[in-house]
């Protein structure tokens, strides 16, 4: 027994110990004069106060429409007529350079260039070229900031998506949403500050895993909360039969008391996090019914988002729910729509995927705008990498596939302080390499944090002996993207 | 205690001797004790602390007895003397490293020694009893003052002379054609990253970078660059060394050059290292100029204009008091006093909460009341918010007649009224009264699109956002959503659909024909199914295009047998749960991968054997027919029965044949299909039914032709008969 007690004392984490020591022993101030951060625990390591923007933010909230599986830039936002005129020709070695290939096309002896199956037209004042399968998104071109020069380090889905979401290809670093929750705190105390909505299209899909919305080494309070794709998006939220509000309240109070006893003994910060999560769930009981109630939405909202928005678990329904969550003060709403991995059968699959997301993605942006919320909400649309300009597998004009391509791909952002109505960056005539204004994933993260009023170099967390950031040791804010 | 003072006296004598030696033979001694020298900045804080305490102890004098005071005072005086001596000695070690301005270092050395000797003198006269009472206090006060004098000299040496008074942030220089590039972009880098150690006072490596002339002289190795040749330029080489290399500059631990700055310095040397050339005289292709401009543009674009508010921040307590679980009041950022307030959960809205915001009325710049039951009468509560800039009243209960009162909010620029009952008159009146408005949102209000154009013309400076306009576009409605989870319906079960839109009608057929909006069967929810059917269903609604057609195979039963006796034995591989499986209303699972190797509990399988089963009803029934559901997989070896015979009677021993059907023979290779065979019965009331289904004993030829491998394996082999349910309707 005595041994167990002593062991529990060892559970005091190192960070905790230093945190307390630093607060308690004023004499150590001398040491801190000489080595400025000698005694700083993780919380004190930030010169900036936590839970607040460092400087006036452009965006208060983010809705990230992650197109999981990597939509082809060549059939969406990066128009390359050269690929059409030179269809079937081999990709020049000078263009490919030393780019590594995936195991899926590495053994191909030819890399026949492939033009887009779909037509392109110019839209908006910037004259942005947008493919015919995205007619609704094309209509709001003047609200969009299209980036054609995104590039990443990874070439396969899992590491690339993990990199996109957490800033590192290995798992277990905090996700973008978790960093925002940690850095900015929650706006609405009755809802989690980071919510995740999943949907699946009809194309070839790739998995999504909880490591994409993990809190990593941050408090588990910052973890993304996944909503169910059923009629009841948050399961087990309602009190069971026979339990009334007062009984629930008493139960939580007593439980918290027990947990605090436990905390006093073992000093595990996760106990505190747990208590707070119970409280959050209790408050969610009042906030959520209003969120999921679609009866107050005007009729033409349904026409805007498309009728699928009433079918739980569809992308359109998630886009509508994302608007409602964001409107209710959720800092970061993360959507994933699976099915963009078009290694084969691209024309058919891409058209189906576009049909799933085009109307509702555009509707979301318009909807935020008409409520006066677009200027304070950043909407991001895009995948983890691009697709090759050459064909994977058998080459026919109607049916072809494209492999993974990390060097250049397109995404778009809207609202929240990005420059509207522009097309940023240029790729070469083959759509293979960036020729002007590259935006690396780290730069993208730095820019997004900047828009949220956070200095990406100052939002840090000390873990395993060093400080971590979303951008880790890289990343520059891209001024050309800022309004 | 006395032992301590004795020892201290000896130590002090020794230290003074050491000091004397060091002072007299400075030039002749080389001390390999750099490490002790580096401790100087650490140790120096000790005597200062003791010195301060020597003064402060006089404050305590009243409360402690005289004897204790004398002991403590003496103790502290000893410590101060000893540590000031040690500090001075370490200081001399440090100065021997060189690199300091001679004049300053000399001053600091003698000042430091002076401090030490002052305290030693104090100690001496105190011990001799020459000094007491008030004079003692003056003595230690003078000692403390001497610390500041010596300390200031030391600080100048470490941080540069103007460290204390220099401006904290340099201002960005604007680049023009007339700018001298060196002064505008290169020298600032030297200033920030190099001059701390290469200045008039501290010239490490004999290099002084504080002025152009001194810079051009170079260091102990001569000129630090070679114009046009960055690779052989000393300072570029040092900057590019790995950071752990001893010769890397700036030294590890000091502020480093950014990669962009290294590029810039390299380009400057490459392009001539001129200290006087103007921006205009560099060519159009100058890498130096494009880099400089890029860096400057980045810096300018990222310069966040700090909005200055002429009010001060709300107090912590007021901010806390304004917050409730359903109203968040929070600072927009840490560098400004501006606050935002958001209301959540409409049923928790209380006027009181809004009134409570008066505690932060001055600081509130943003307020979001969207969806709250906020009424016209309450607009008056908002007029207190004199600095309000953005107000969101979407989907509140206001009609707008009181909105004019908001003219009290002189800074209001953005007002969102979407989803309210606001109309044209209200809007025009409002825009007239509040000239500060720049943006108004009136989507989904009483203001029509035609009216917007007119109002917009009248108030050209205000952006009127009308939002999404319903286009005259017909959309395809989404298909019905299936509610029923099982495709095998029990006697009282219907096949039920729902739809998320209101007033949707389902059109369906049961005979494999395509439904249309005219001829087909119609329902608003449950579809009546009588027997095994192929259901095709779609949704329609006026104003929408008909939905996609969905297809299902639905099995229906009207009578459930009380007992089923299997008269023939199923194969060991597919025993299911015996006869019960024929009425368990569980559809046969589809086997995938390895599972197909395991016996399956949802299918009854017969191999080289026929199915024979007796169904008992305690009350006689008169069914219209029987549905025999089975599996067909003709690309493998699962085939329909050759024939199905039905016998009926009121005793198991007296049954007569009432039906014989031969399921359609498969003509092609087909994949996995669950099928139903309808067996109509003539009217008749019976208690017992026997069903005999003959399995196929020789696989047909076409199966063998396509696949050579299977030909060998299956040649002459029997086919599987796999049965799911037998349903009476």
Q: What is the pLDDT of residue A60?
A: 95
* Closest alpha carbon to B270 in B223, B225, B240, B234: B225
Candidate from A293-297, A475-479, B683-687, B716-720 with smallest mean pLDDT: A293-297
Q: For residue A31, name the pLDDT band (cuts at 50, 70, 90).
A: very low
Closest partner residue to A298 (CB to CB) among B342, B370, B444 is: B444
Rounded to whole angstroms, the Cα distance separating B153 from B160 reads: 10
Q: Are residues A382 and A446 in the same domain?
A: yes
| pLDDT value at residue B21 | 85
Of B175, B169, B176, nearest in space to B191 by CA: B169
Bond into A236 cis (ω within 30):
no
Q: Does B304 touch chain A if contact means CB atoms closer than 8 Å?
A: yes
Segment A73-83 mean pLDDT: 96
User: HSE of B94 in the Cβ direction (CA atoms, 13 Å)?
Assistant: 24
Which H or E element spans position B463? strand B463-465
Average pLDDT (B332-339) is 89
Mention every residue, 6+ apart, whose C-beta is less than 8 A from residue B11: B82
- Spatial neighbors of B318 by CB under 8 A, at least 6 apart, are B359, B360
**Residue A166 is assigned to a structural domain of this protein:** yes
Same domain, A192 and A120: yes
* Whether residue A19 is found in the same domain as residue A72: no
Interatomic CA distance for residues B8 and B80, integer angstroms = 11
Domain assignment present for residue A40? The answer is: no
- pLDDT band, residue B240 (cuts 50/70/90): confident
Q: For chain B, what is the radius of gyration of the CA atoms?
A: 49
When pLDDT is averaged across residues A115-131 and rounded to a whole number, the result is: 95
Tokens representing residue B103 in the block: 């004049």
Residues in chain B with CB shorter than 8 Å from the CB of A363 are 468
pLDDT at A237 over 60: yes
Q: Could you tell me if residue A100 is inside a domain? A: yes
Q: Is the pLDDT of residue A197 over 90?
A: yes
Burial letters A383-415, b for 16+ CB under 10 A, else e: bbbbbbbbbbbebeeeebbbbbbbbbbbbbbbb
Give the rounded percent of residues in chain B with a pLDDT score beyond 90: 38
pLDDT of residue A47: 47
Counting Cβ atoms within 10 Å, is residue B90 exposed (0-12), middle (13-18) or buried (19+)?
buried
Contact A371 B346 (CB under 8 A): no
pLDDT of residue B551 exceeding 70: yes
B395/A296 CB distance under 8 A:
yes
SS3 A154: coil
| Long-range interactions of B571-574: CB distance < 8 A, separation 24+ | B571/B605, B571/B606, B571/B607, B571/B609, B571/B720, B572/B599, B573/B599, B573/B600, B573/B605, B573/B607, B574/B599, B574/B600, B574/B603, B574/B604, B574/B605, B574/B606, B574/B722
Residue B351 CA to residue B125 CA, distance in Å, equals 77
Q: Does A33 contact B475 at a Cβ distance shorter than 8 Å? A: no
| Pairing of β B364-368 and β B339-343 | parallel
Instruction: Please give the backbone phi and psi of residue B31, each rounded to the nearest 5 degrees, phi first.
Output: -105, 120
B466 chain-A contacts, CB cut-off 8 A: 370
Q: Same structural domain for residues A320 and A372? A: yes
* Residue A48, number of CB atoms within 10 A of its CB: 17
The gap between the terminal CA atoms of chain A, to the nearest Å, is 63
Please give the backbone phi and psi of residue B152, each rounded to the nearest 5 degrees, phi first: -60, -40
Q: Which residues contact A393 (CB under 8 A, 6 or more apart)?
A: A343, A344, A400, A401
Residues in a beta bridge with B553? B534
User: Does the pLDDT at position A24 exceed 70?
Assistant: no
Size of interface A-B (CB pairs under 8 A): 135
Do residues A156 and A298 share a domain?
yes
Measure in Å the smallest separation between the Cα of B349 and chain A Cα atoms.
Answer: 12
A75 and A13 inside one domain: no
Pairing mode of beta strands B505-509, B533-540? antiparallel
> Shortest CA distance to A201 belongs to which of A58, A390, A330, A361?
A361
Taking contacts as CB-CB distances below 8 angstroms, the residues of chain A near B41 are 34
From B328's Cα to the closest Cα of chain A, the distance in A is: 6
Q: Please determine, for residue A450, whether its predicted confidence score (pLDDT) is greater than 90.
A: yes
**Residue with the larger pLDDT of the pair B500 and A30:** B500
Q: Does residue B377 have a pLDDT over 90? A: yes
Burial B462-486 (b: 16+ CB within 10 A, else e): bebbbbbeeeeeeeebbbbbeebee
* Residue A383 belongs to a domain: yes
Could you tell me which residue, B590 or B340, shows the higher pLDDT?
A: B340
In Å, how far are B207, B264, B277, B290 from B272, measured between CA atoms?
Answer: 21, 13, 9, 16
Cross-chain Cβ contact A53/B544 below 8 Å: no
What local confidence, expressed as pLDDT, does residue B371 receive?
Answer: 94
Residues B401-438 have pLDDT tens digits of 999 999 999 999 999 999 999 999 999 999 999 999 99
Interchain CB distance below 8 Å, A371 and B443: yes
Is B187 within 8 Å of chain A by CB?
Answer: no
Count Cα neighbours of A428 within 13 Å in the Cβ-side half-sphere: 12
In the sheet that B526-527 helps form, which strands lie side by side, from edge to edge? B481-482, B495-498, B526-527
A186 compared with B398, residue with greater pLDDT: B398
Question: What is the pLDDT at residue B704?
Answer: 52
Say how far apart CA B235 and CA B213 lie, in whole Å: 17
Which of the residues B45, B316, B333 would you substitute to probe the A interface, choosing the one with the greatest number of A C-beta atoms within 10 Å? B333
Q: Which of these ranges, A43-47, A131-135, B331-335, B340-344, has the smallest mean pLDDT?
A: A43-47
Asked if residue A72 and residue A17 are part of one domain, the reply reads no
CB neighbourhood size of A161 (10 A): 27
pLDDT tens per residue, range A59-71: 999 999 999 999 9
Q: φ and ψ at B307, to 5 degrees?
A: -75, 125
For residues B153-164, average pLDDT = 68
Instruction: Give per-residue pLDDT as tens, B378-397.
Output: 999 999 999 999 999 999 99
CA B622 – CA B630 distance, rounded (Å):
24
Determine the pLDDT at residue B708. Answer: 52
Q: Which pLDDT value is given to residue B670?
A: 79
- A329–B392 CB contact, under 8 Å: no
Reading the block at residue A477, the tokens are 């804010």
Backbone angles phi, psi at B638, to 5 degrees: -110, 120
Task: Tell if the CB–CB gap between A307 and B345 is shorter than 8 Å.
Answer: no
Nearest 5 degrees, angle CA B128-CA B131-CA B133?
135
Q: How many domains does chain A have?
A: 2
| pLDDT tens-digit readout, B406-416 | 999 999 999 99
Q: What span, in angstroms and rounded, lies between the C-alpha atoms of A472 and A456?
A: 9
B516 confidence band (pLDDT: 50, 70, 90): confident
- Residue A211 has φ and ψ, to the nearest 5°, of -65, -15
- Give the tens place of pLDDT for each residue, A328-373: 999 999 999 999 999 999 999 999 999 999 999 999 999 999 999 9
In a shared domain, residues A91 and A26:
no
**Nearest chain A residue (CA) to B303:** A479
Least confident of A210-224, A356-370, B665-679: B665-679
Domain range for residue A115? 61-230+290-481
Q: B555: closest CA among B675, B642, B661, B723? A: B675
Question: Mind listing the pLDDT tens digit for each residue in B142-152?
Answer: 888 888 888 88
Confidence band of B702 (pLDDT split at 50, 70, 90): low
pLDDT in tens, B610-649: 999 999 999 999 999 999 999 998 878 889 999 999 999 9
Q: Are residues A25 and A148 in the same domain?
A: no
Q: Is the pLDDT of residue B205 over 60?
A: yes
Chain A residue whose CA is closest to B308: A56
Task: Label residue A25 by pLDDT band (50, 70, 90).
Answer: very low
**8 Å CB contact of A311 and B307:** no
d(CA B568, nearest CA chain A) in Å: 45
**What is the C-alpha to C-alpha distance for residues A411 and A67, in angstroms, rounded to an integer?**
10
Interface of B with A in 342-361 (CB under 8 A): 342, 344-348
Q: What is the pLDDT of residue B469?
A: 78
Residues A201, A320, single domain; the answer is: yes
Residue B100 has pLDDT above 50, yes or no: yes
Query: Does B712 have pLDDT greater than 50?
Result: no
User: Under an 8 A CB cutoff, do B439 and A372 touch?
Assistant: yes
B392 contacts A371? CB cut-off 8 A:
yes
- Among A370, A419, A480, which would you mutate to test the B interface (most chain B Cβ atoms within 10 Å of its Cβ)? A370
| Residue range B463-514, pLDDT digits in tens | 999 988 777 778 888 889 898 888 999 998 999 998 888 889 999 999 888 8
| 8-state DSSP, B446 | S
**Does residue A208 share a domain with residue A78?**
yes
Report the C-alpha gap between B247 and A95 in whole angstroms: 41
Q: A189 falls in which pLDDT band (50, 70, 90)?
A: confident
**CA distance linking residue B446 with residue B725, whole number of Å:** 60
pLDDT at A32: 37
pLDDT at residue B372, rounded to an integer: 95
In angstroms, the CA A126 to CA B260 distance is 31
Of residues A45 and B608, more confidently modeled:
B608
Six-digit token pair at B448?
A: 């029509």
User: How many Cβ atoms sit within 10 Å of the Cβ of residue B45?
Assistant: 15
CA angle A295, A298, A304 (to 5 degrees): 115
Query: How far is B497 from B523, CA to CA, in rounded Å?
Result: 9
Mean pLDDT for B74-96 is: 88
Check whether A85 has a pLDDT greater than 80. Answer: yes
Which CATH number do you get for residue A300?
3.40.720.10
Testing the interface with A: which of B45, B304, B412 to mutate, by most A Cβ within 10 A? B304
pLDDT in tens, B267-324: 899 888 888 888 888 887 788 888 887 777 766 667 776 788 989 889 889 999 999 9
* Dihedral, CA of residue B6, residue B8, residue B9 and residue B11, to nearest 10: 130
What's the mean per-residue pLDDT of chain B? Answer: 86
Could you give the percent of chain B with pLDDT greater than 70?
92
| Chain A residues touching residue B465 (CB < 8 angstroms) | 369-370, 372
pLDDT of residue A16: 53
> Which pLDDT score is estimated for B672?
85
A355 with A470, same domain?
A: yes
pLDDT (average), residues A135-141: 96
């Amino acid at each position: 027994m005595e041994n167990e007690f002593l062991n529990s004392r060892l559970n005091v984490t190192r960070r905790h110990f230093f945190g307390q020591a630093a607060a308690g022993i004023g004499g150590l101030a001398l040491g801190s004069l000489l080595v400025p951060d000698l005694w700083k625990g993780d919380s004190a390591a930030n010169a900036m106060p936590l839970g607040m923007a460092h400087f006036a933010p452009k965006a208060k909230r983010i809705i990230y429409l992650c197109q999981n599986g990597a939509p082809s830039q060549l059939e969406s936002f990066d128009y390359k007529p050269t690929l059409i005129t030179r269809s079937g020709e081999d990709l020049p070695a000078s263009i490919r350079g030393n780019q590594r290939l995936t195991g899926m096309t590495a053994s191909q002896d030819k890399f026949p260039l492939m033009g887009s199956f779909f037509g392109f037209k110019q839209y908006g004042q910037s004259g942005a070229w947008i493919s015919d399968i995205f007619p609704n998104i094309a209509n709001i071109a003047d609200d969009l900031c299209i980036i054609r020069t995104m590039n990443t380090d990874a070439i396969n889905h899992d590491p690339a998506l993990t990199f996109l979401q957490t800033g590192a290809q290995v798992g277990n670093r905090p996700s973008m949403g978790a960093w925002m929750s940690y850095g900015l705190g929650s706006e609405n105390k009755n809802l989690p500050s980071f919510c995740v909505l999943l949907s699946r299209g009809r194309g070839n899909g790739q998995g999504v895993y909880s490591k994409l919305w993990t809190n990593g080494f941050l408090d588990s309070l910052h973890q993304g909360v996944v909503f169910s794709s059923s009629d009841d998006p948050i399961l087990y939220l309602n009190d069971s039969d026979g339990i009334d509000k007062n009984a629930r309240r008493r139960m939580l109070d007593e439980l918290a008391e027990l947990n605090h006893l436990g905390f006093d003994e073992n000093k595990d910060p996760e106990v505190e996090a747990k208590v707070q999560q119970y409280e959050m769930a209790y408050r969610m009981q009042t906030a959520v019914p209003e969120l999921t109630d679609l009866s107050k939405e005007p009729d033409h909202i349904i026409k805007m988002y498309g009728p699928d928005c009433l079918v739980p678990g569809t992308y359109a329904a998630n886009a509508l729910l994302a608007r409602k969550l964001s409107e209710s003060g959720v800092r970061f709403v993360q959507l994933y729509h699976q099915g963009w991995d078009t290694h084969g059968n691209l024309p058919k699959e891409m058209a189906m995927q576009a049909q799933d997301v085009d109307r509702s993605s555009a509707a979301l942006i318009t909807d935020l705008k008409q409520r006066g919320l677009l200027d304070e909400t950043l909407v991001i649309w895009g995948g983890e990498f691009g697709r090759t300009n050459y064909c994977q597998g058998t080459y026919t004009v109607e049916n072809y596939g494209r492999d993974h391509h990390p060097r250049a791909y397109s995404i778009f952002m809207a609202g929240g302080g990005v420059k509207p109505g522009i097309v940023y960056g240029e790729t070469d005539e083959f759509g293979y390499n960036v020729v002007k204004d590259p935006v690396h994933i780290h730069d993208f993260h730095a820019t997004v944090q900047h828009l949220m009023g956070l200095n990406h170099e100052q939002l840090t967390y000390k873990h395993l002996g060093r400080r971590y950031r979303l951008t880790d040791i890289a990343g520059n804010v891209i001024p050309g993207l800022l309004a | 205690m006395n032992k301590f003072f004795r020892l201290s006296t000896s130590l002090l004598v020794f230290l003074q001797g050491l000091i004397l030696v060091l002072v007299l033979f400075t030039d002749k001694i080389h001390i390999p004790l750099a490490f002790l020298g580096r401790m100087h900045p650490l140790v120096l804080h000790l005597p200062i602390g003791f010195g301060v305490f020597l003064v402060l102890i006089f404050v305590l004098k009243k409360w402690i007895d005289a004897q204790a005071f004398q002991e403590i005072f003496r103790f502290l005086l000893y410590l101060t003397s000893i540590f000031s001596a040690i500090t001075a000695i370490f200081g001399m070690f440090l100065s021997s490293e060189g690199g300091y301005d001679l004049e300053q270092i000399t001053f600091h050395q003698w000042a430091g020694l002076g401090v030490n000797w002052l305290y030693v003198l104090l100690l001496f006269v105190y011990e001799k009893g020459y000094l007491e009472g008030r004079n003692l206090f003056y003595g230690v006060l003078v000692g403390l003052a001497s610390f500041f004098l010596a300390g200031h000299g030391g600080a100048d040496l470490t941080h540069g002379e103007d460290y204390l008074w220099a401006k904290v942030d340099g201002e960005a220089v604007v680049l023009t054609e007339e700018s001298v590039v060196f002064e505008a972009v290169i020298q600032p880098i030297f200033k920030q990253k190099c001059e701390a150690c290469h200045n008039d006072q501290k010239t490490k490596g004999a290099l002084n970078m504080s002025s152009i002339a001194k810079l051009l002289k170079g260091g102990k190795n001569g000129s630090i660059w070679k114009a046009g040749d960055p690779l052989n330029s000393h300072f570029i080489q040092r900057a590019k060394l790995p950071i752990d290399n001893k010769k890397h500059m700036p030294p590890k631990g000091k502020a480093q050059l950014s990669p962009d700055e290294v590029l810039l310095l390299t380009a400057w040397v490459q392009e001539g290292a001129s200290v006087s050339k103007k921006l205009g005289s560099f060519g159009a292709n100058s890498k130096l100029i494009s880099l400089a401009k890029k860096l400057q543009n980045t810096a300018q674009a990222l310069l966040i204009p700090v909005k200055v508010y002429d009010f001060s921040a709300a107090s912590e307590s007021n901010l806390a008091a304004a917050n409730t679980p359903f109203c968040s009041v929070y600072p927009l950022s840490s560098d400004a006093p501006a606050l935002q307030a958001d209301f959540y959960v409409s049923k928790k809205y209380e006027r009181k909460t809004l009134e409570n915001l008066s505690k932060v009325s001055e600081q509130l710049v943003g307020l979001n009341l969207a969806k709250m039951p906020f009424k016209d009468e309450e607009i008056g509560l908002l007029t207190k918010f004199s600095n309000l800039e953005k107000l969101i009243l979407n989907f509140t209960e206001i009609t707008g007649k009181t909105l004019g009162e908001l003219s009290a909010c002189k800074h209001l620029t953005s007002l969102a009224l979407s989803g309210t009952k606001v109309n044209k008159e209200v809007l025009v009146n409002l825009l007239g009264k509040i000239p500060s408005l720049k943006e108004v949102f009136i989507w989904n209000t009483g203001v029509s699109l035609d009216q917007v154009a007119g109002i917009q013309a009248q108030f050209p400076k205000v952006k009127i956002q009308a939002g999404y306009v319903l286009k005259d576009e017909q959309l395809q409605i989404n298909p019905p959503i299936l509610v029923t989870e099982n495709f095998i319906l029990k006697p009282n079960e219907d096949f039920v659909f729902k739809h998320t839109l209101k007033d949707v009608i389902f059109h369906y057929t049961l005979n494999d024909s395509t439904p249309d909006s005219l001829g087909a069967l119609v329902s608003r929810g449950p579809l009546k199914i009588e027997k095994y059917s192929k259901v095709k269903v779609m949704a329609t609604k006026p104003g929408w295009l008909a939905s996609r057609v969905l297809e299902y195979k639905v099995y229906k039963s009207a009578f459930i047998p009380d007992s089923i006796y299997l008269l023939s034995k199923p194969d060991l591989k597919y025993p299911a749960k015996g006869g019960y499986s024929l009425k368990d209303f569980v559809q046969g699972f589809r086997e995938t991968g390895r599972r197909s190797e395991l016996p399956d509990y949802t299918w009854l399988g017969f191999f080289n054997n026929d199915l024979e089963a007796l169904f008992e009803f305690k009350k006689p029934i008169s069914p219209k027919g029987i549905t025999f559901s089975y599996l067909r997989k003709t690309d493998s070896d699962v085939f329909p029965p050759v024939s199905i015979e039905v016998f009926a009677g009121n005793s198991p021993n007296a049954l007569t044949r009432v039906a014989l059907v031969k399921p359609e023979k498969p003509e092609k290779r087909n994949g996995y299909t669950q099928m139903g065979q309808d067996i109509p019965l003539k009217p008749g009331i019976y208690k017992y039914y026997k069903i005999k289904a003959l399995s196929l004993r020789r696989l047909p030829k076409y199966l063998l032709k396509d696949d050579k491998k299977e030909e060998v394996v299956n040649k002459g082999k029997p086919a599987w008969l796999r049965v799911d349910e037998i349903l009476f309707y």
